[in-house]
Amino acid sequence: MWTNLLRWFDVPSFEGDEDKSRAAVLLNLILWIAIAATLLYSIFAPIDPALVPRRTAITVPFILILLFFKQMVNWGHVRSIGILVVFVLWLLISGGMVLDPEENNPAFMGYLVVVVCAGLILNWRASLWWSFICILTSGIVLVLGQSDVLPRSNTDDPPLSLWLAQTIYIVTSTILLSQAIRKIDEAFAEAQRELSERKRLEAERERIIQELEAKNAELERFTYTVSHDLKSPLITISGFIGLLEPDAKSGNAEKFKRDLQRINEAAEKMKRLLDELLDLSRIGRLVNPPEDTPFAEIVEEALSLVRGRLTAGNIRVDIQKDLPLVNGDRPRLVEVMQNLIDNAAKFIDDQPAPIVEIGAREEDNEWVFFVRDNGMGIEAKHHLKIFGLFDKLDPRTEGTGVGLALAKRIVEVHGGRIWVESEGKGKGSMFCFTLPIKE
């Protein structure tokens, strides 16, 4: 409670809008000075005891209005309250002139307070407008005094000369003030630009640091893979080569043939892993010229590359009609679809009616393409992990763990994003990626 109360009394700050925050500081100061002055006047100013209720009836509502203004400033209505405060100051000073229209009345010079507040709270243009209004008002009051509409002044000085002197004083002060405020605003704007640039550079630095940390983590996983996944086929090859000679000497052709097949499988696995690593390293460096291609053709080409797995699993593929035209590196986009379709077919599980759906939808000035299956699904905690390099949820499954990382890198090079949606195990998965809409 006390914290909220102290926060209410404090000056509000509006992040990202320094002009508004500065105006709020000035308004806060003016309002508290007005509240304090009103309280001091109502308590200590001499007055007939019979008039105390009348004074209270005037000062209490006035203080409540000022507190309401303070609350409005806290809510962010800084400009509206600023205009209202400047108007009230002008009204009070004009009222003082009407009640005592002496050309040398100090209230005449009170208009400078209006001009200064307008410039500081609002802007330098507002100070020019309010100086014009103040000069016009003082001239009207003088004319009405000379016409006996208001009480005539007792001064012997020519009213016009005093009005001209006052006008020159206000105009000169306004010009100097507006120039000073403009210089301050320009300097402040320059400081804001420098601060924004510094923040941008800091954000860029943080982004680069995060990218480097991610690259280092990827490099660590790469090192592990090279030392483990590549070493594993070499150990297999080395072990079975050692068995070939005894098999040949014993004349066991069947065992010799099995050992030779194991060597070939290990060599093929190593070749596949090296090819995928090489392919991953080329993304972003070696690119094909972008071309306009119907996405349906990309889908058909990808399907032809994984037709064997789809046929073996008796998997039905539904393709949405009227797929859009896309612009990009066609072979790479085919590679994305091939990896996603192959991944869906690989983890379709033992569904009685396995199905893979391919389609697209338009969202926020980009196309969202998807490959949806009714397979085993993916738990939410693995939704980001599966796109990491060599991150396989089940190490026993076939593949190298590079496919989804490869798809992610290709999509990002095209300016898109890739993610997976799945409600969990047994709920199927939908892999989505975006590409900009071709204009």
Alpha carbons 381 and 378: distance in angstroms, whole number: 8
Q: What is the pLDDT, as a whole number, of residue 393? A: 53
Give the pLDDT of residue 70. Answer: 84
The residue with tokens 């508004």 is 20
Joined together, the tokens standing for residue 27 give 């308004």
Could you tell me if 141 and 101 are in contact, meaning their C-beta atoms sit under 8 angstroms apart? yes
* Band of pLDDT at residue 106, cut at 50, 70 and 90: very low
Query: In 3-state terms, what secondary structure has residue 319?
Result: strand
At 60 the pLDDT is 85
pLDDT one-digit tens code per residue, 419-428: 988 887 878 8
Segment 133-137 long-range contacts (CB within 8 Å, at least 24 positions apart): 133/90, 134/90, 134/170, 135/111, 135/166, 135/167, 135/170, 135/171, 137/90, 137/94, 137/97, 137/111
CATH number of the domain that residue 343 is part of: 3.30.565.10
Alpha-carbon span 318 to 62, nearest angstrom:
74
**In angstroms, rounded to a whole number, what is the distance separating the alpha carbons of residues 219 and 69?**
60
My answer on whether 265 and 295 are in the same domain is no
The bridge status of strand 325-328 relative to strand 355-363 is unpaired
Is pLDDT of 118 > 60?
Answer: yes
- Shared domain check, 298 and 389: yes
Of 54-63, 146-155, 298-307, the one with minimum mean pLDDT is 146-155
Q: Are residues 4 and 110 in the same domain?
A: yes
Between 394 and 367, residue with greater pLDDT:
367
Q: What average pLDDT does this structure show over 74-89?
A: 84
- Give 346-373 pLDDT, tens digit per residue: 877 677 888 889 999 888 778 899 999 8
Chain center to CA of 432: 23
Write down which residue in 135, 157, 179 finishes a domain: 157
Going by pLDDT thresholds of 50, 70 and 90, the confidence category of residue 309 is: confident
How far is it, in rounded angstroms, from Cα 410 to Cα 330? Answer: 11
Between 177 and 330, whose confidence is greater?
330
Amino acid at 419: W
86 domain residue, yes or no: yes
- Phi, psi torsion values for 425, nearest 5 degrees: -60, 135
In tens, the pLDDT along 184-232 reads 777 777 887 888 888 889 999 998 998 888 777 767 766 665 665 566 6
13, 186, 188, 198, 378 from 193: Cα distances, Å: 19, 10, 9, 8, 46
296 and 393 in a single domain? The answer is yes
Beta bridge partners of 373: 356, 429
Encoded tokens for 58: 């005037």
Name residue, tokens 């007939």. Answer: 48
What pLDDT score was predicted for residue 229? 59
| Segment (H or E) for 408 | helix 403-413
For residues 424 and 333, membership in a common domain is answered with: yes
| Domain's final residue, options 157, 185, 206 | 157
Q: Is residue 176 part of a domain?
A: no
- Domain extent for 28: 1-157
Query: Rounded to an integer, what distance in angstroms lies between the CA atom of residue 431 and that of residue 152?
Result: 87
Residue 117 has pLDDT above 90, yes or no: no
**Tokens standing for 145?**
């005094």
Query: CA-CA distance, 306 to 201, in Å (whole number)?
Result: 46
Given 284, 299, 330, which residue is the final one in a domain?
Answer: 284
Per-residue burial over 196-235, b = 16 or more CB atoms within 10 Å of its CB, e = otherwise:
eeeeeeeeeeeeeeeeeeeeeeeeebeeebeeebeeebee
What is the domain count for the chain? Answer: 3
Is the pLDDT at 107 greater than 50? The verdict is: no
Indicate the pTM of the whole model: 0.46
CA distance 253 to 36: 108
| Count of H-run helices and E-run strands, the chain | 14, 7
For the cut 80, the answer to whether the pLDDT of residue 73 exceeds it is: yes
Same domain for 278 and 367, yes or no, is no
Q: Using pLDDT thresholds of 50, 70 and 90, give the confidence band for residue 234.
A: confident
pLDDT value at 251 more than 80: no
Residues 62 and 118 grouped into a single domain: yes
pLDDT at 3 over 70: no
Whether 296 and 414 share a structural domain: yes
**Contact, 85 vs 69, CB < 8 A?**
yes
User: What confidence category does residue 104 fall into, taking pLDDT thresholds of 50, 70 and 90?
Assistant: very low
pLDDT at residue 328 greater than cutoff 80: yes
Q: Are residues 383 and 277 part of one domain? A: no
Shared domain check, 4 and 150: yes
Pick from 34, 151, 33, 26: which is nearest to 79 by CA?
26
Percent above pLDDT 70 for the chain = 80
Instruction: Indicate whether 195 belongs to any domain.
Output: no
- Does 2 score more than 70 pLDDT? no
Two tokens at 175?
């010009």
Instruction: Provide the mean pLDDT of the chain.
Output: 78
222 with 304, same domain?
no
Distance between CA atoms of residues 336 and 403, nearest Å: 8
Any domain includes 360: yes
> For residue 60, is it within any domain?
yes
Per-residue confidence (pLDDT) for residue 358, from 0 to 100: 92
Maximum CA extent, the chain: 139
Comparing 242 with 64, the larger pLDDT belongs to 64
Instruction: Find the mean pLDDT for residues 286-292.
Output: 73
Is residue 201 one of the residues assigned to a domain?
A: no
